[in-house]
Structures are given as C-alpha cells and as structure tokens.
Amino acid sequence: MGKPVAGITDTVITDLGRENGWSHPGVVLGGSGIWREERLAHFIRMLSNEDDGKRWHAAESVGRMRDPGAVEPLIDKLRDDNFRVRLKAARALGQIGDIRATGPLRRLFRMENDEAHEIITGAIKEFNLQMDQQ
C-alpha cells in the first residue's frame, strides 16, 4: 500500500464541511495555515446566511477557533435579529478575548433581557480570563 497523499484528508473534510455546514470540535480546532484560514473564511461567510441555525453554528465554530479575524463579523452578529445568534456571538467573542469586543458586549448587556445577562456576563468573564493570559 502506498503512502497517503499529503493534504488529501484535509481537502475532503473541508469540502464536506462546505457542502454540509459541518463542524466538529476536533476538525474546527485542529490544523493550521491555509486549511485553517479557509475554514475561518467559510464560517465567517456562514455568519451572513439567511438560516438562523447556520448563523448560530458559524458563531459557535469561529468561537472554538479563537481567531481574532472573526471579531468584527461577530460584533456585527451582536445586532442579529435572532436572540440565540446574538448570544452565541457574545460567547464566541468571550472565547476569543479580543479587546475590540468589550464595548459591544457591554452595550449588548444593557439591551438584552435578564435571561441573556447570565450568558453575556459569562462571555465577559471568559474574555477577561483570555486577556489575563495574554
């Protein structure tokens, strides 16, 4: 049996993910370089999808990737029409821990109801932990 072609698995998983909107923590977190950049770009595009579930999923995925390149698109999602998408974007911003998110997270806290305050507070706490580790 011959050696596997380098990168073929990455390509297949990336293509399947694009076609099906899949995300798995091991796939999202792993990898580097161009493959990671392609996945990040894919999920950032999904943040603009018409489907609420796909936008929620995209926010979840970019949060797990913890890439600062997703901060501005996630900040935009704090104004999403869907409550769940706004909260998932807040959590993702907390996971990334970029200073640009502090003001928008505080504004969201003031705008949302009590039910959302716990999630937003958790995102801000996680954000503070990320900042302390930098």
CB 39 within 8 A of CB 62: no
The model's confidence at residue 26, banded by pLDDT at 50, 70 and 90, is very low
Could you report the per-residue pLDDT of 47-89, keeping only the tens digit for each? 999 999 999 999 999 999 999 999 999 999 999 999 999 999 9
Q: For the whole model, what pTM was predicted?
A: 0.70
50's tokens:
């018409």
26's tokens:
């091991």
Name the residue among 27, 24, 61 with its Cα closest to residue 41.
61
Query: Could you tell me which CATH number the domain at 25-133 has?
Result: 1.25.10.10
